[in-house]
Chains A and B, each alone.
Chain A
Amino acid sequence: MTVIDAPRAQVPDELSPQRGRWQRVRPFLPLVALVVLAILPYSTISLPGIFEGPVNSPGTLQLLAICLIFGGLAAGYDLLFGRTGMLSFGHALYFAAGVYGTDILVTRAGLPLWQAALLTITGGTILAALLGAVALRTVGIAFAMVTLAFAQVGAILVARDFGGLTGGEEGLPLDVSGLPAGLVGVTNTVNLYWLALAYLTLVVFVVHRVSGSPTGRVLAGLRDDERRIGVLGLDPYRYKLVAFTLAGGLASAGGVVYVLIVGGASPHITSSELTLSLLVMVVLGGPGTRWGPVLGGVLYMYLDHRLTAFGTSDAVDNLPAVLSRPLSQPLFVLGTVFILAVYFFPGGLTSLAPRLSHLTRALRPRGR
């Protein structure tokens, strides 16, 4: 039997991608960005208005490291929200499990960091698997509420300080005496920065590999039409549980790095507001895209920190009180931007580039 190749479909010229100068460089852009971020601590440029000190000052590096962590967290959360279509309101729980787990094992139990980290990430993943197994028996909005309730239990456990482990409302400072010397002290902030960068790279890599795999295609199918996946003979529950567990594990790994950067755990990271801000990051960046959530997370954390300084700056203070007071609340600005984003650019930041290119093409003179 001979196989006859089907004739290739004719694609109209205007629909086939233009292989411009940028198209050839594009696949390497993430690598370039990674290299730039990795060598950033060696530069002493100061960007007034953007960062307070020079780029390699410990304060700036710490801010950047936190931004990178949240870029990774948002990318991990996007595995649930953007790629599988699960609206979880309890993602903060697994992050908090990473933060508090490491902190308690190092500070209270005196374990070496690598053991504590390993135990915490394993524990966080198992926790996500167990709670996901229960929560995924519901779908849609009910799922959102159940995850919210589970996360609330975590918040209560931490705040009420059962057994005197978590330090309650005051939080638990990390005992640094047992940590490797390279991760302790202001002068070593740069190592923490690289650690955060490594975490972000890991998350992006994992999410990218998963979404490219057959499992990832099933997840995308679940997002678009869950019933159809069921009809095709695949079990939606199992695939969702895999995504949930993986995202939980990644979040607890993020918690391990975060506790090292911040040097302790505080109860606000267990609150549902953290999950809500992850949601805001993903939607602002562009759900279901590779770089959108990362960008959203980095930008959100940056704005959250910098808007506080902006709010107390002279430019804002000189405005009438009606304007200056709301503007000094980062959450007010971010919340408003978020609502506008939901209405006016639903695809997030990453959808802006194609839109702008449409605009420029429309504005370009017809002669070309």
Chain B
Amino acid sequence: MGTVILLALTGLGLAALYFLVASGLSLVFGLADVLNFAHGLFLGVGAYGTWWAAGNLPGAGPDGFGFVFAVAFGVAAGTLVAILVELVLIRPLYSRTIEQVLVTVGLSLAGVALLQATWGADARPFPRPDWTRQVTGIFGAQVPNGGLLLIIAAVLVLGAILAFLRWTRYGLVIRAGVENREMVTALGIDVRKAFTLVFAIGGAAAALAGALGGVYFGTVSPGQGGSLLIFAFIVVVIGGMGSVVGSAYAAVVVGLVQQFVNYYGTSGLGDICVVGLLAVVLLLRPQGIAGKVATA
């Protein structure tokens, strides 16, 4: 019983990480039709920003309030990079989907290489508060606190994004834009501001994933974003493009399947099961759990 609960909670921790990356990807894709390969870069910037701030920034540190400050710095850095990428690189290419994908591909290659050039290819130990290294006993299972932190953060982010989408004017514009962008434009609303906004939200969520992922794994390395990104893509497709709630459901399913199958089957089998799940979803329900049909 303890094992099942432990697996469920660590699976949910993984799901939280996927959700943080996938929610931004899904919103960006749903609204702006940009498949953002550079999303892993935002994650890397968030992780390295936190890591750098904890060591160098006055007032920030690996513990207590200093750690919160360091994470805030990392998230701010990730958001800033995301906004810059949207304004400088993506905006001139709107409605040219393939070129946008190509630019984000180039950016992901160059950006990860830049991180690697600045801080080296090896994984660095991540500064984290002592309490995240410990475990909490829940129904007889010893659950690592880092995973619980991820779950709490993901739930908060999910709530915040949903509240933003439901109760603010810009949230309304974004929801309408995902449904039918041309109509929103025809009503005289500048959707491009909303594009920048979803990039900022996505960048912030991904940077948070980077910072908390660093806490969870204990290390930070330039390639971390890339390997998470593929599963985040899978989560986005299964959940349905443009749907935050769909991403949340899909992230939970993917995280749990991966964790349980990897434990009870051979290691690595869970990852393959996830891809199998993707194939099944695409064949039976191409639009995902909740979302519009993905077309070019």
Q: Are B117 and A332 in contact (CB under 8 A)?
A: yes
- Contact across chains for B101 and A280 when beta carbons are under 8 A apart: no
Kindly supply a per-residue 1/0 record for chain B positions 260-296, scoring 1 wherever the CB is within 8 Å of any chain A CB and 0 otherwise: 0000001110011001001100110010000000111
Contact of A331 with B by CB under 8 A: yes
A144 to B97, CA, bound (A): 12
Bitwise, B218-248 to A at CB < 8 A (1) or not (0) is 0000000010001001101100000000000
Which A156-209 residues sit within 8 Å CB-CB of chain B? Answer: 156-157, 159-160, 162
Contact A283 B102, beta carbon cutoff 8 Å: yes
Are B233's CB and A149's CB within 8 A? Answer: yes
The distance in angstroms between the C-alpha atoms of A325 and B103, with both chains bound, is 22
Let me know if A141 and B97 touch, CB within 8 A.
yes
For the complex, is A276 an interface residue (Cβ under 8 Å from B)? yes
Contacts of B116 in A (CB 8 A): 329
B109 x A334 contact (CB < 8 A): yes
Question: How many B residues, CB 8 Å from partner?
Answer: 46
Inter-chain CA distance A182–B37, complex, in Å, is 44
Residues of B close to A346: CB separation below 8 A = 99
> By the criterion CB–CB under 8 Å, are A149 and B278 in contact?
yes
B188 lies within 8 A of chain A by Cβ: no
Verify A280–B295 contact, CB threshold 8 A: no
Contact assessment for A142 and B110 in the assembled complex, using a CB-CB cutoff below 8 Å: no
Say if the beta carbon of B80 comes within 8 Å of chain A: no
**Contact yes or no, A152 B294, CB < 8 A:** no
B interface SS class: helix
Measured in the bound complex, the distance between the Cα atoms of B20 and A292 in whole Å is 40
Known A149-B230, A160-B267, A331-B109; judge A142-B89 contact (CB<8 A).
no
Contact A157 B272 (CB under 8 A): yes
Partner of B282, one of A142, A279, A329, A339: A142
A162–B266 CB distance below 8 A: yes
* B184 interfacial contact with A, CB 8 Å: no
B121 CB to nearest chain A CB (Å): 10
A139 engages B103 (CB within 8 Å): no
Query: With the chains together, A283 CA to B282 CA distance in Å?
Result: 29
Asked whether A30 is an interface residue with its Cβ less than 8 Å from the other chain, the reply is no
**Does B114 contact A326, Cβ atoms closer than 8 Å?**
yes
Is the pair A138, B106 in contact by a Cβ cutoff of 8 Å? no
B230 touches A87 (CB 8 A): no
Ranked 6 nearest A-B pairs via Cβ: A140-B296, A335-B110, A160-B268, A335-B109, A332-B113, A331-B113
Q: Which residues of A contact B (CB under 8 A)?
A: 87, 134, 137-142, 144-146, 148-150, 152-153, 156-157, 159-160, 162, 272-273, 276-277, 279-280, 283, 325-326, 328-332, 334-336, 338-339, 342-343, 346
9 A-B contact pairs sorted by A residue (CB < 8 Å): A142-B295, A144-B35, A272-B230, A273-B226, A329-B114, A332-B110, A332-B117, A338-B106, A342-B102
